[in-house]
Structure 1
Amino acid sequence: MATNQPIFSDAIINQITTAQTPTTLQNFFKTGVSKEVREALLVSFLSTGQDPLSILDVRTHTLGVLYILSARVSASFGITPPPSWQLVQDFCTNFDREQARLAPERITKLAKGIHRLASHVGNPSLAIPPLQDLISHYPPHPSYLTTIHPIFLLACTSTHNFTSTLPVLSTPITNIDTAALSPDLTYSDNLTYHYLGGIALAALKKWKEAEEYFEICVTSPGTVPAALQMEALKKLRLVQLISCGKISTLPKYTHPQLLRLFKATPYHAFISAYPHNTQQLNDICEKEKITFAQEKNIGLIQQSLVRASRWSLKKLTATYVTLHLSDIAKAVKIDDENEVRALLLSMIESSDIHASISSTGSVTFLDPPPQFTKSDVDAVLQSMQSQTDLLIELDAEVGRGKDFLSKIVKSGGGDPSATWAAVQGEEELLLSGVGMGMGMLAWDE
């Protein structure tokens, strides 16, 4: 095709509207025309000057519209006019998922282009609704991680629309399909999604949930630790200080090099001094304030400092039964007894401690009352049953795998009866283990 001749999308539209099946159309896009010519045709208008997107139905021609729309939002906006937001939103709300899954790489291209277009028009928040619609419609279940997820989280966190992330973050990621759903999904996508999820949840002060997301990022297995995992570890440790006043042990499969590198950071020194050594904490903050600010952790540092007295006070409950307000004030390094009283009342109200304060200023620390009800126990058991069903389903899926069956046959010496006995024995062991887990849970509760 000569570069000095007008390029029209008539041929593309003809293919989209006359293809017998979406698979036939996908084969045309893949092999019927070179990539350079294809992209040029996709961003062009009809020879009549009409926009091809104005004559295609989103649901009927999802695959064709996906190719055109993803090309248009990714093209140079100085040469090709971008599509309207109404067209973008209409597609993301009404597309046919089965057609869209034939071209997963175009879904990725569309998601990136939507984020790019929103920034281009000066309103990055515009990308959030269509990206959220893509996430809710494209995967077969909210538990699947796709390439859209980290792009959506980036759009939300970069614009401080943290609440918009909650419908997506409320479902943990338990499934990844790189065979058909997201073949271009990368290890970095997983890290980015959980890292940004932790940031959004921490910004909303959902500390426990933020801790879980940061930990998934930190402990994701890899040959060498990624830089993003180190940033996640820094935020994880600060969130743990804010949430419960101390850090917790990471799983054994955490990369050891990551933990060694962390010990060389000022965060390790900050944790070592927390919460009692107020002077050392202040010295570290003053010395490293530029580092903390550059790494976007100054807010978490300040919040952990504010709560240091709270956790110093809580540690007293493990040693003393009764203390006077003046003694508590000395221990937590607060000069004003009224401030100590206010702190105590705040911690009692939030159930961080259980105590009573007498009229003379004597504080008696109490054992915490039972924190569960019958409905709580029922909810835990219901959750356990759901996890049991999922475990059985996963076990059955593994049991159908070629590698697993080959190993079973080898272990049975090729004898079909021995093979069946081995499989049945493993299933019974699995089910009995799950049952014991549920029984222990009910007993503990």
Structure 2
Amino acid sequence: MAPTDPALDSVMAKILAASDLTAQKTLLNDLPEHVFTAKAFTSEDPLDAISPAENSLAYLYFLLYRCKASHGFHPALMEKLWAFVSTCDGAQIRLASDKAMSFAEALVKMASESQQPIIAIRPLATFIQRIQSNAGQLTMIHPLLAKTCLLAQSFKDIIPILDNDITDVDPSQTSIDYRDILLYNYYGGMIYAYLKRFERAIDFFRLAVSAPADVTSAIQIEAHKKYVLTSLLHLGKVPPLPKYTAQLVLKALKMHSAAYIDFAGAYEKKSNGAIKSELEKIKPQLIRDKNFGLAKQCMEALHRRNIQDLTRTYLTLSIENIASAIGLGSDPAGQQYVEGIIVQMIESGDIFARISHEHAGGMVSFLDDPNQHNNTATMDTISAQIQSATEITAKLTAMDQKISTMPEFFSKGRHGPMPDFGGYPMDESDYGMQMGYENYVDEESFV
């Protein structure tokens, strides 16, 4: 039903009569906030007079201020919110990207205040897909969605978005800034690590660390720490960073990730004694950084790799001998742990073996891989992976070149000027809330 208040009638008439969207935006910006909340959710609601699909710009302003004024999820508000995010015109919304971001933040704030952050996730994901000009475009809302998913530990709705590689970082369309890129890749890496999709996690952390920079961000330091641990877990080593990584970033990493680099050095040598010594040495820092869960997974992955190495040398070994060979001694608890790992590795196809308990403690017979990997399907898979890797590398190189030639990414943006790490240790109380990269997932969630 259309509004009957004469003042609201006049305002709505002016909005709809604006000569173009730029003029409409100017008019909307000049209106006091109370206009957008007047008669809300009544029979005279002015939003009932306009369409979320055809009048998306105006609808955005009304929803923004109503979300800000709301102290919870009013059913009528959610109904109009869903109608908006599902049908809005992305081209109109991109004209007011700052208001779009404020709307998204207000939505998350409502959800958080209701102790239900998960409620904001699907509307945000839908909104992103409506306002993107293409599936590879990064928007300001991407990092907020990823952060909210971490807070709620709910990832179903963001995975299709994360799985689309970002190839469009045009700030003229979305008003993104440099920190949006860092945060999105950092949060995305955390989400993939939580889901144990480690290859993607490594890619995301690498993108954050190697982003063009004229100062080193604390986000890059934290991303590098997780890059080191995730690489050790998945690959058993830390691949070198891309050659185009800024020298000042590499210098900062040597200073602020030194403990992680030392741990990686010992880990790659597969020396159990040295690894345990380094792990014990940096345990307080790992706990403080909320990375201890990842480090513990690295140790289990090392045991798996050591067992795989044994398959190349021996045909049969007792479980006790295997436990001793991988540095767990002859403790019965260690042998039980080893048997559990072997069972998991057999089930996942990591090794081919048979366990027999005809002898005390159990014997493991290692078998040959029945798949000779010499068929057409294997060759097709390899070719597809090579082609995919080549395409992704080309896209990332082009994107990095584009970012490095856009001075607006390195200027003062929504978040304020980029902080110079300046050789000082990061204090989460100083940087965390300001920059929005808090570790919402407890380290035990990575176990």
* TM-score normalized by the length of structure 2: 0.72
2:319 equivalent to 1:331: no
Look up the SS of the partner of 1:143 in the other structure.
Answer: coil
Q: Which has the higher contact order (CA 8 A, sep 6+)?
A: 2
Distance 1:238 1:368, change over 3 A: farther
Q: Can you list the C-alpha shifts for 1:146-199, whole angstroms capped at 9, x where unaligned?
A: 11211111111111113332121121112222222x1x1011111111111111
| 2:125 is equivalent to residue 123 of structure 1 | no
Q: What is the number of residues matched between the two proteins?
A: 378
Q: In the superposition, relative to structure 1, how do residues 57 and 141 fare at CA in structure 2: closer, same or farther (>3 Å)?
A: same
Q: Deviations for 1:334-391, whole angstroms, at most 9, x for unmatched residues?
A: 3256654553443344333456778884755757844475345446656777899999
The Cα shift of 1:102 comes to 2.9
Aligned counterpart, 1:419 = none
CA–CA separation in structure 1 for the residues paired with 2:201 and 2:78: 32
Match of 2:301 among 297, 300, 307: 307
Q: How does 1:263-302 map to 2 (within 5 A)?
A: 263-265=257-259, 267-274=260-267, 276-302=270-296
Is the 8 Å Cα contact of residues 156 and 165 (structure 1) preserved in structure 2? Answer: yes
Partner of 1:64: 58
- Which residue is 1:15 aligned to? 14
Contact kept in structure 2, 1:191 and 1:229, CA below 8 Å: yes
Deviates more, 1:216-225 or 1:8-17: 8-17
Are the aligned partners of 2:205 and 2:223 in contact in 1 as well (CA < 8 Å)? yes
| Mean Cα deviation higher: 106-115 or 230-239 | 106-115
Alignment of 1:92-111 (within 5 A): 92-111=85-104
**Given that residues 117 and 148 in structure 2 are in contact (C-alpha distance below 8 angstroms), is that contact kept between their aligned partners in structure 1?**
yes
1: distance between equivalents of 2:378 and 2:33?
59
1:261 aligns with 2:255: yes
Does the 8 Å contact 2:155/2:191 carry over to 1? yes
| Correspondence list, 1:2-41, <5 A | 9-20=8-19, 24-30=20-26, 32=27, 35=29, 37-40=30-33
What is the SS of the residue equivalent to 1:221? coil
Larger Rg: 1
Q: Secondary structure at the match of 1:50?
A: coil
* Aligned residue in 2 for 1:251: 242
Give, as a single letter, the amino acid of the residue that structure 2 aligns with 1:230: I
Code of the residue aligned with 1:172 in structure 2: it is D
Distance 1:332 1:188, change over 3 A: same
CA distance in 1, matches of 2:7, 2:251: 56
CA contact (8 A) 1:135 1:148 kept: yes
* SS class of match (1:43): helix
Q: Which residue of 2 aligns with 1:50?
A: 44
Q: 1:55 to 1:152 in 2, by over 3 A?
A: same
CA–CA distance in 2 between the matches of 1:329 and 1:390?
41
1:173 counterpart (160, 166, 169)? 166
Contact 1:165 1:200 in 2 (8 A): no
Equivalent of 1:350, from 348, 351, 354?
348
Task: Say whether the 8 Å CA contact 1:139–1:146 is kept in structure 2.
Answer: yes
Deviations 1:261-319 (A, max 9, x none): 24523x2333233274445545555554443223221221222223332223334456x
Q: Shift of residue 91 of structure 1?
A: 0.5
Aligned pairs for 1:388-427 (under 5 A) are: none
Question: Using the alignment, how far apart are the partners of 2:364 and 2:58 within structure 1?
Answer: 75
Length-normalised TM-score, structure 1: 0.72
> What amino acid is aligned across from residue 152 of structure 2 in structure 1?
T
Q: CA deviation at 1:58?
A: 1.1
Output the amino acid matched with 1:55.
Answer: A
> How has the CA–CA distance of structure 1 residues 112 and 380 changed in structure 2, closer, same or farther, with 3 Å as cutoff?
farther
Report the secondary structure of 2:158's partner residue: helix
Structure 1 portions without partners, runs of 5+: 1-5, 396-402, 404-445
2:125 counterpart residue number: 132
**For residues 106 and 377 of structure 1, do their structure 2 counterparts lie closer, same or farther at Cα, with a shift above 3 Å needed?**
farther
Q: Which range moves more in the overlay, 309-318 or 363-372? A: 363-372
For residue 213 of structure 2, what is the aligned residue in structure 1? 222
Match of 1:190 in 2: 181
What is the alpha-carbon distance in structure 2 between the residues aligned to residue 211 and residue 54 of structure 1?
48
| Distance (whole Å) between structure 1 residues aligned to residue 222 and residue 303 of structure 2 | 26
Contact preservation (8 Å) 1:321, 1:366: no
Distance in 1 of aligned mates of 2:11 and 2:385: 50
Identity level (%): 29
In the alignment, what sits opposite 2:428?
A: none
Task: Deviation per CA, 1:107-159: give whole Å up to 9, x if none.
Answer: 22222221122123332111111101112222132211111211111111111
Q: Which amino acid aligns with 2:264?
A: I
Partner of 2:418: none
Q: Aligned equivalents of 1:206 and 1:393: distance in 2?
A: 21
**Which of 239, 250, 270 in structure 1 is aligned with 2:230?**
239
Contact 1:62 1:100 survives alignment (8 Å): yes
Query: Is the 2:82–2:123 Cα contact (8 Å) retained in structure 1?
Result: yes
Contact 2:90 2:130 in 1 (8 A): yes
Shift of 1:208: 1.4
Q: Does 1:113 align with 2:121?
A: no
Separation in structure 2 between the aligned mates of residue 376 and residue 15 of structure 1, nearest angstrom: 65
The alpha-carbon distance between structure 1 residues 103 and 209, as it changes in their structure 2 partners (threshold 3 A), is same
**Which residue matches 1:156?**
149
| Selected match of 2:376 from 371, 374, 377 | 374
CA contact (8 A) 2:21 2:92 kept: no
> In structure 2, how many angstroms separate the alpha carbons of the residues matched to 1:371 and 1:144?
38
Q: What CA distance in whole angstroms lies between the structure 1 residues aligned with 2:378 and 2:138?
A: 30
